Structure 1
Amino acid sequence: MVKIDALPDVPRWAVLAAHMVPLVTLPSGLWRIAQVAGLPVAEQLGRDGREAVVAISLTLMTDGLALLTLGLVRPWGEVAPRWLPLVGGRRVHTLAAVVPAMLGAAALCAIAGWFACTQAADLIGRVTQTPAQEALLVVCYSPLLAWAPLLAVTALAYYRRRATMS
């Protein structure tokens, strides 16, 4: 069994939820990188340097935000690492972590709902050429639907744990 390093008073389910967040964002990032690299995951017409920068930037931002979820179960989510300017070594205020996490979860829900209702069918038809490319796109982007609930339950566990410590 793999040991996942977390704080001892964090429920195992919260640790697993936090570690799942980077895993659910990974397939879409790999799909974007594959597209930028010219692999046949989607139609490549109109791909220019600016679009490649946007795709890579979106991937880095998404994965960076997903990795921040680990702070809700790790020591650096309670005391800021010493190397951070101004806040290094200071205790992280509970709401300073919970409020952005819950706002992020709400934003992810809103984006997912809007996208599913208005954009998904159009994007799949515009970006893909073959049924295999459509299936790959759906398989790579569907896990993102789990990001918001995983983030929300991890943030709630963080809040419950930290509120009882005060």
Structure 2
Amino acid sequence: MDEKEVSEMQEEMMTVLVVEPMKAPYVKSIPNELEDLQQAVGGDIEMTYPFEDEVGILLNGNGKFEGLPLNRALYDDRGQVYDAIAGTFLVVGLTEDDFTSLTPEQIEKFKEKYQSPEVFTLFNGELHVMKMPPQEQKEQKESRKKDAQEKNPAKGKKKNRSGEAR
């Protein structure tokens, strides 16, 4: 491959934020081709533009009908839920006529926005959303707890009446 071919291949790739149900978002480079975008969201793509930023959400347009798990809520200007995205979605940068890579600032902004997975319940005909701690935080907390137990094995063990660990 010469430099021109390598440059063309790099232009076809774009850096996006992948948001899966019940997971923290992550950055991924994917080809800016219809088939690859469809594969990333698991079906026919649809776009929504809920932000003033030059970004859009690329999602599976049939996700709800296919019974995909609800992923993240969309909120109006007052913070009220007006819709929920089903299945995996991508946050992509926008040009006038195409998708493009997110800037580092956009990556950080939307990574933070979607960091916490959401759980949905329907109560009295209203959709309610509860943010969960990100999976990474849960894993770090469990890892710290395990490390602490390994360093001090007596801690956390129950003692009998004579004070000996059981």
Question: Aligning the two structures, in what range does the TM-score lie when normalised by the shorter sequence?
Answer: under 0.3
Return the index of the structure with the highest Cα Rg: 2
TM-score (norm 2): 0.27
Q: Which has the higher helix share?
A: 1
Higher strand share: 2
Question: Could you state the TM-score of these two structures normalised by the residue count of structure 1?
Answer: 0.27
